[in-house]
Amino acid sequence: MTDVVLFLCRSLASSTIVYETPDKTALLRLAWNKRDDRFIATFADDSTKISVIDLRRPIYPMAELDQHKAGVNSMSWSPHSRYDLCSAGEDNTAIVYDICAGMTRPGEIVDGPWSSYTLLKSDEPINQIRWSPTEPNCIALCDEKALHVVQM
C-alpha cells in the first residue's frame, strides 16, 4: 500500500487519503503519536526518510526526517513528549528527533533543520526500538545480536 487512509468507523465506505508516497513506493511502517494524535509518522520500504503527517493538513508531510544513511527499520514516538521521535535503521544508528525544533508556530510545515542526535551507534543494523512507557529517558533497542537499554 502506498497510502495512509483514514476510515470512519460509522461508514467504512467513506475514507480519506491523508498521505500518498510521491513515487508510489509501498509504506512499510507507521506510528501514531500517543501524546498528540494529530501526528502520524511513516516510512516507505527501503527508505532513509521518515514522513511526519499532521492530520490537520494532510497530503503533504509536515516534516521529512532524513538523517539515516540506509533504510529505516523502526520508529517510536516518545510517550512522554509530544514532539520526540526515535528511529532505527540499517545504518546501525538510532536517532532521536525533536520535530518541533524547526517550527516557528505550532503545526507549520518544517523543511528543517530539526534538532536530532545519534542515540546509539551499533555494530549491527538496529531492527526495533521502543521508548519506555514509564521512564522518560530510557529507550530499548535490538540489533541482530543484542538488546540494548539506553539512558539518554
Instruction: Give dist(CA 54, CA 62) in Å, integer.
Output: 6
Cell numbers standing for residue 84: 520526540
Ranges of the chain with pLDDT below 50: none
Q: What is the predicted pLDDT for the residue at 69?
A: 97
Instruction: Give dist(CA 113, CA 103) in Å, integer.
Output: 9
Q: What is the predicted pLDDT for the residue at 20?
A: 80
Q: What is the predicted pLDDT for the residue at 114?
A: 63
Query: Residues 121-140: pLDDT tens digits?
Result: 999 999 999 999 999 899 99
Q: What is the predicted pLDDT for the residue at 73?
A: 98
Q: What is the predicted pLDDT for the residue at 60?
A: 83
Instruction: Give dist(CA 94, CA 25) in Å, integer.
Output: 23
Q: Where are the domains of the chain?
A: 3-151
**Cα distances (angstroms) measured from residue 117 to each of 1, 4, 14, 88, 121:** 31, 28, 41, 12, 11
Please tell me the CATH code under which domain 3-151 is placed. Answer: 2.130.10.10
Q: What is the predicted pLDDT for the residue at 110?
A: 54
